[in-house]
Structure formats: structure tokens, C-alpha cells
Structure 1
Amino acid sequence: LLYIMAMFFVVQTCIMLIQPLITLYVGELMHDMGDAAIKMSGVVFSLSGITGILAAPFWGKRGQRFGYVRVFCIVTFIAGFINLFQVFINTVWQFAAIQFVYGLFLAGAVPNINANLTRVTAANMRGKAFGLVTSAQQFGGVVGPLVGGALGSFMSSRYVLVFAGCVLMALALYSYFTRVRGVEQEAAS
């Protein structure tokens, strides 16, 4: 349960890192800090949510077929890797495209964490477990903007996004080597 809580916390923190910076970043990319940048930042931020609606059922089904933790590792690593491309963008449309693709993969994290939670939690403890996991996720929603704002005060917004990508990739590798590979090695012994 602690592992699952930590996964929710880290994923939510990485999602929310961009929140305090997105309007400034979009304004920087558009060379305008007016109403158009504010509106466009709302559109861009919502893209990963829209893709989540589209992709989450797909990734949940893949988790059921191939293993929830394995699919979590794949989608989290790819989402993090996609975020690394932030260093190459020059326009708001490139940023929007990266956010769209990022959302397609990151949408697979939550359903697979939730499914894994039900798998490792006794039926009579699931209500309490989901409550604790939701608290961890909400705590990530608190920490993410604070860390994003702090990082944004001394580095470019694009590097804050790259930082979030690196954290997601590290999370995926940690999960793979401790949960997927570790279980495979124990089964082989």
C-alpha cells in the first residue's frame, strides 16, 4: 500500500508541477502575455485531460492483459521521455502536441495503479486503502505546484517540464526493477 501511495503522490506531483507555470510558458512561446495566452494556456493544460478520457480505458485493458505494474512502468517511462522533448520546442503548437502525446501515455498510470491497489488489498480494507491513496494523490496536488513554482523561480519553465519527465522516468525504472523484475526473479528462484 505504501508503494501505491507513493506512486500516486509522485505521478500527481509531476502532473501538477506545470500548473503555476503554464500561463507564463504559453505567453513566452506566443510572445504575448495577453488574453490570448491565458486562453491558450487553458486549452493546452486541458489537452492531457482530454487524452486521458480517450486513452485511460485502453491502458486499463492493457494492464489487465499484461500486468498492471508492467503497463504502469511502460506508460510512465514513455510519458516522462516525451516530456524531455520540451527543450526542443519553439511554438505553442509544438507544446500542445507534446502535451497531447504526453497525456495519451500518462493516462495509463492511474487506472493501473488503482487496479493494482484492488489486487493487493483485502476486500474488507479497500475503502480505507482508497482513502489513503486519495490522500496521497491530493498531497501530490499540493506539493506539485509548490515545487513547480519554486523551480520556476530559478529555471526556465521548459526545464521544469524536463525535470518532471526525468522524475517520471526514474519512477518507471524504480517500479520495473523493484516490482516487475523483482517479482520475476523471485518466481524463477
Structure 2
Amino acid sequence: MEQWKKNLAVLWVGQFLVMGGMTMIIPFMSLYLQSEQIGMTNKHEIATWAGIIFAGNFVTSFLFQPLWGKLSDRYGRKMMLLRSGFGMAVVMTLMGFATSPWHLLLLRMVNGTISGFNPAAVSLVSANTPKSRMGFAMGTLQSGGIAGTILGPFIGGLLADAVGYQPIFYITGISLFAASVLAYFVVKESFNREKAAARPNVSVIQGFKQLSRVPQLMSLFAVTFLLQFANIGPMPLMPLYVQQLHGTDVNLAFWAGFVGSAAGLSNMIASPLLGRLSDRIGQERVLGISLIGAAVLFIPQAFVHSVWQLLLCRLLQGCFMGGLIPSVNALVRRFTPDGMEGRSFSLNSSMLALGNMVGPIVGGFVSGWTGIGGVFIISAVLFVVNALWVRRTLVSGARRNTGALRRGSS
């Protein structure tokens, strides 16, 4: 097997375990706070702490990703990959020993601080994959993360019933450690440390300013933010919306979970297929079609009259969503100046974390004024605006602007 395929296979497993481990605790976080080990009893306090603890990871991740991106450009992507993998394995294991909500919040924030497995994996794969297979590689890697995100809560719920809450943290830690060991022995990267050390040691702020001069990158980062914003924003409201459509409490939790994961299921299947298609017809075209398709399918979700209609819309929308992140990652690699790939992918990861933070807040605020349907309409409008922005920046002067920046940076 070619080395880039070995890298892709191992990092797919790593993406699955990392995203699965991060989402595995979602179904029982509030229940864990009520356990004998933590001992909380006030329902309002439990709900508040559960939200704060869940968000804490994304706050520090948003702040620290650019720093790890800078270091990956200087010392190598594999080093950052292993730093994040082994570090998160330790932190997740320690969560099993927490005895107060403050302990969990601190550990979640530490986890966000040291995270960076995803951007390091994407950067490493993009740097070591033949250009003709870039779309396929990005789509396949994306499917691993999506699979972990979908199956994580399901597996976490099963394990919570089978073995209790604490052992899940230990199991997750062991899984992350095993994935990191596998990456250490199997994954190889082509990285010239002498050449990287010879480049000017640009600060995080200066690096961001340099990347911001590439209009294509700014529009691509916006796609990443909006994708996560639109995915996560309606999630806290989805059980209420399903209850409104379903009209009964029978199997409500099942239907809410099924609808919430529907887009992820079709996304997981579509990502490698659309990635392969983008290698043939171009990432720009697949990205544009995916943005418009996802925007159009937000609209009927605001006006459905049954859970089945909502489920069908979510499944179809997931197919278009599957073309977004792989295309974005491939295009980010193309438009990023040489030697700044790690920074660029880390900034993209920061936009992902920002969408995770802002989405539920804005979604809750908007639904209070317009109802849950208004959240879908606003997401549709934002996607259309972003599609026009992407088309304008990618089509007009893309290679000329990037070439000028690369000559300037050298």
C-alpha cells in the first residue's frame, strides 16, 4: 500500500476515535453531574453546568488552534498530531476522577487547549497526498470524523447503561492512546525541518494578517463557520421541534436523536463520493453546488408538517453537506502559501469551534423571536450569501493573488 493511503487509513481511525470520544459524553453529562461522585441535585444548576462544561472545550480550542498551527509549520504535523492525541488521552482519563463540576470544566478547557488532532491530520494528509486524489482523501478523512460524531453519543449511551459513567472516560482515554500509538508507528510525513527552521519566525497575529490577504481563504473559512453554525444551531431546539411535529411523548427521544443525526448519516456516505467527484470536475464546482443545495434544503425544514418530512429534508441536506468540508480543505491547501499549511488548517479549525460556540446561542435567541423555523430560514440566507462570496473570490483572480502573496512571503 502506498504511504499516503496508509496515512489516510490510520488517520481515519484516529478521527473516528477523537470525534467519537468528544461526543460520547454528551448523552450522560447531566446524569454524571447527578451521580454520587459529583453529587449535584438542583436541576437548574445541573442544566447550566452541563452547558458550560460542554462549551468550555470549544472556547479554548478556538483560542489556541492558531498557536498549534504555527508550531506544526515549524516542527511538523506528525509531532502536533501525537501531542494532541496523547494529551487528550490523559485528559479524558482524568475526567473519570473528577469530583466536582469545576474539575470537569477545567479538564474540558485543558482538552480544548491541547486539541488539534483534526487540523494536524488534515494538514498532514493534504501535504502527502497526490493532488489528483486530494478530494477523495479529504472526503474520506471527513467521513471518519462524521462517523465518530454520529456514533459517539449512541455508543456513550450504551456504555453508560452497561458499565456506568466513569469507565467511559477510561475507555475513551485508552482508545485515544491506542490511536496515537498506531499513528506514531505507521504515519509518515514528508517534512523538511531545516527548510522550515530557515523561514522567518512569524507570530500568530502576523501569520493571520498574511493569510487574510488571500480573499479565497477568508471565504473558505466562512464556509466552515457557517456549516458548523447551521449544524449545531438547531440541535438544542430539535427535540422541541420534533415534539411539536410528533404530537406525543411516545418514542420522542428516539425520533429527536434520529432526526438530529440524519444529516450526519448521509454526510458520512456522501463525503468520499463527492470528494472523488471533485477530483474530476473541480473542488470549486462541487463547493458551489453543495452550498446552494444545502441552502435550498434549509427552507422546507421551516415549513414541514411531520417528522418524516423533516427527516427526509435532513437526509437530503446531509448529501450536500458532505461536499462542503472536503472541498474546503482541498481548496485551503491550494490557496495557502507554502510553509503556512498548519496555520491555515488550524485557523479553519478555529472557525469550526467558533461555529460550535455561536450556533446554539444565536439559534436560541432567534427562535425566541421567530420560532424554530426562523433559525432554518436565516441559515439558508447565510449559505446563499456565502455561496456568492465563494464564487466571487474563487473565480476572480485566484491564482494571480495567491502567486503574488507567495512571491511576497518568499
Structure 1 residue 148 and structure 2 residue 389: aligned? no
Match of 1:58 in 2: 273
- The runs of at least 4 aligned residues of structure 1 exceeding 3 Å deviation read none
Superposition pairs of residues 7-46 of structure 1, within 5 angstroms = 7-32=223-248, 34=249, 36-46=251-261
The Cα of 1:124 is off from its aligned counterpart by: 2.5
Shift in Å, 1:130: 1.3
1:111-138 deviation digits (Å, cap 9, x = unpaired): 0000001111245221222111101111
Query: Cα RMSD over matched residues?
Result: 1.8
Change (3 A) 1:77 1:26: same
In the superposition, the TM-score normalised over structure 2's length comes to 0.43
Of 96-105 and 148-157, deviating more is 148-157
AA paired with 1:101? L
Contact 1:27 1:38 (8 Å CA) reproduced: no
The worse-fitting range, judged by mean Cα deviation, of 3-12 and 14-23 is 3-12
For 2:235, what is the secondary structure of its paired residue? coil
- When the two structures are aligned, how many residues end up with a matched partner? 183
Match of 2:340 among 125, 134, 142: 125
Tell me the secondary structure at the aligned position of residue 124 of structure 1: coil
- Matched-pair identity in %: 29
Check conservation: 1:84, 1:166, Cα contact below 8 A.
no
- Larger mean Cα displacement after TM superposition, 149-158 or 119-128: 119-128
Aligned to 1:89: 304
Higher relative contact order (CA 8 A, sep 6+): 1
- 1:183 CA displacement: 4.1
Q: Are the equivalent residues in 2 in contact too, given 1:23–1:37 (CA < 8 A)?
A: yes
Do 2:303 and 2:373's aligned partners in 1 also have CA atoms closer than 8 Å? no
Who is 1:157 aligned against?
A: 372
Partner residue, 1:135: 350
CA contact (8 A) 1:77 1:168 kept: yes
Larger Rg: 2
| 1:177 maps to 2:374 | no
**Post-superposition offset of 1:157:** 1.1
How many Å apart are 1:35 and its aligned residue?
5.9
Deviation per residue, 1:8-27 (Å, 9 max, x gap): 11221112121121010000
Displacement after TM superposition at 1:104 (Å): 0.6
User: How many Å separate the matches in 2 of 1:126 and 1:36?
Assistant: 47
Counterpart of 1:108 in structure 2: which amino acid?
Answer: G
Which amino acid is the alignment partner of residue 17 of structure 1? G
Look up the equivalent residue of 2:236 and give its one-letter code: P
Offset, 1:60: 1.2
Shift of 1:161: 1.2
- Residue segments in structure 1 that go unaligned for 5+ positions in a row: none
Give me the whole-angstrom Cα distance separating, in 2, the residues matched to 1:31 and 1:92: 10
> How far 1:6 sits from its partner (Å)?
2.0
Task: Describe the superposition over 1:80-120 as per-residue Cα deviations: whole angstroms up to 9, x where unpaired.
Answer: 10111124310000000000001011111000000001111
| Contact 1:14–1:144 (CA under 8 A) maintained in structure 2 | yes
Deviation at 1:152, TM superposition (A): 1.0
CA separation in 1, counterparts of 2:348 and 2:392? Answer: 22
Letter in 2 for 1:153: G
Preserved CA contact (<8 Å) 1:83 1:162: yes
Q: How far is 1:145 from its partner? A: 0.8
Partners of 1:127 and 1:35 in 2: CA distance: 48
Instruction: Report if aligned partners of 2:302, 2:372 keep a CA contact under 8 Å in 1.
Output: no
**Closer, same or farther in 2 for the Cα pair 1:146/1:35, shift >3 Å?**
farther
**In structure 2, distance between residues paired with 1:3 and 1:30:** 38
Partner of 1:70: 285
Against the structure 1 CA distance between its residues 87 and 128, is the aligned structure 2 distance closer, same or farther, given a 3 Å change threshold? closer
